[in-house]
Amino acid sequence: MTPAGLPASIAALRAALAGGELSVADALAAQREAFARQRWDCVANLLPAPPIPARNLPLAGVGLAHKDIFVLPEHAPHCGAGYAWPGADEVSPLVQGLAAAGAPPLATLVMAEHACGATGENPRYPLPQNPLDAQAAVGGSSSGSAVAVAAGLCYASLGTDTAGSVRIPAATCGLLGLKPTAGLLSNRGVAPLAPSLDTVGLLARSADDLRRVWEQLVPAAQSEPVQRIGTCWRHPEGEPDAEVLTVLEDYADRCAPQRREVALPGLSEWSRLGQTVLYAQAYASHAPALRGQEPALGSLARALALTGAALPEAWLAQAQAERDRCTRDFLAQALADNDVLLTPALPRGVPDWEQVLTTSARFEARRLLDMFRWFAFVNYLGLPALVFPVGRDRRGRPVCVQAIGRAGAEARLLALAQASSPFTFSLSQG
């Protein structure tokens, strides 16, 4: 059961509604009340009670909450910055589409300021609490989305992913986190960080919940089962911990009949070029704040934007010009003979908050870098990726894998997770 006293999955909730065990109005009211009394520090704003959707809508009764970066009806996002985004002039069609399917937004959720951060650190809010382990860090920048879903406050949440900001928090909270193919979902009504990398994504506790919400955003697609997987566990900047590697190897051995080890000689180049685009476009997005024309940036967002200010324009032009070639190289290296590529999500496991909190006496820069090491290059390549849990470490924290596919392969990635990863974290842990 969820904190609202409702069934733990969308399918079970819909069955209860169909059987007359509760009404759509009661389900939404219970979920909104759960947000009002939540104890995980994940809510930015509790929204007014929504109109009650018709019971025959596909997601009727499914209350959602989203990262506070989307323009909602009568709500401009604050983007973790303490003021309304000045560019909020169009409501997100994705939020509108989900509401039209019966799943209205009940709350907006906390985030790293302006989506600048691999954790949920933001001095304007208390640290979001990981429902699985109070000492465990919560990834960012869609931190509130991950916490709300992991706690059972909502069945799914929209976030944004520029360099891993959906997948990182999903991995820290034992969730599924989908970064779709670049351009597949609209960025209209979403505050930008680096527009050519920004991708709206989705977090959920199960593959079935994610699929049910996803199919209201993108028409359902048939997918062939995954038969051939490639694996690449080792990054040029470090190998995964032995404990994490064992869990990943065990999963890979059982998830597909054919498996190949893959080398990615271009990984360092793709990561470097992706960082160039991120820094340069973040500067362009936040130059008015640096010039004093908008409210001042916090330290993390300011550092990111200032780095971009120092980059020569020719570097950005080169990075953009190389993207198609780099994507072709990746496809040739990783997916020419494979349906999907598996990589680690967090190669050293979920860290403690004090290891990745920049103000902590125990801060370890490498542990923070580990949190996005395997993610940012995927945004540069524009390909879809899905993070999902495949086991636990000795402390009971999730070990997640990242599955990367060809453009448009979201249905295949979801099918892989649903078929070969029944592993889920119980709501009772929250």
pLDDT in tens, 159-211: 999 999 999 999 999 999 999 999 999 999 999 999 999 999 999 999 999 99
Conformational region of residue 117, where left means phi above 0, alpha means psi within -120 to 50, and beta covers everything else: left
pLDDT at 375 over 80: yes
250-277: per-residue pLDDT in tens? 999 988 778 999 999 999 999 999 999 9
User: Which pLDDT score is estimated for 130?
Assistant: 98
Conformational region of residue 341, where left means phi above 0, alpha means psi within -120 to 50, and beta covers everything else: beta
Q: Which residue has the tokens 């697609």?
A: 221
6-63: per-residue pLDDT in tens? 999 999 999 999 999 999 999 999 999 999 999 999 999 999 999 999 999 999 999 9
User: Which pLDDT score is estimated for 421?
Assistant: 59
Task: Give residue 226's Cα distance to chain centre.
Answer: 23
Question: pLDDT band at residue 225, thresholds of 50, 70 and 90?
Answer: confident
The whole-angstrom separation of Cα 269 and Cα 272 is: 5
Structural contact between residues 231 and 341, judged by C-beta atoms closer than 8 angstroms: yes
The whole-angstrom separation of Cα 39 and Cα 163 is: 28
Which is nearest to 73 in space by CA: 38, 54, 55, 100? 100
Question: pLDDT band at residue 422, thresholds of 50, 70 and 90?
Answer: low
| DSSP character at residue 238 | B
> Phi, psi (5° rounding) for residue 247?
-65, -45
Structure pTM? 0.97
3-state class of 105 per DSSP? Answer: strand
Lateral strand order in the sheet of 43-46: 43-46, 105-109, 64-67
pLDDT at 234 over 60: yes
Secondary-structure breakdown of the chain: helix, strand, coil percentages, each rounded to the nearest 5: 35, 15, 45
What tokens appear for 137 in the block? 């860090």
pLDDT at 424 over 70: no
Rg (CA), the chain: 20
The whole-angstrom separation of Cα 171 and Cα 169 is: 5
User: What domains, with CATH codes, occur in the chain?
Assistant: 10-215 (3.90.1300.10), 229-408 (3.90.1300.10)
Structural contact between residues 251 and 423, judged by C-beta atoms closer than 8 angstroms: no
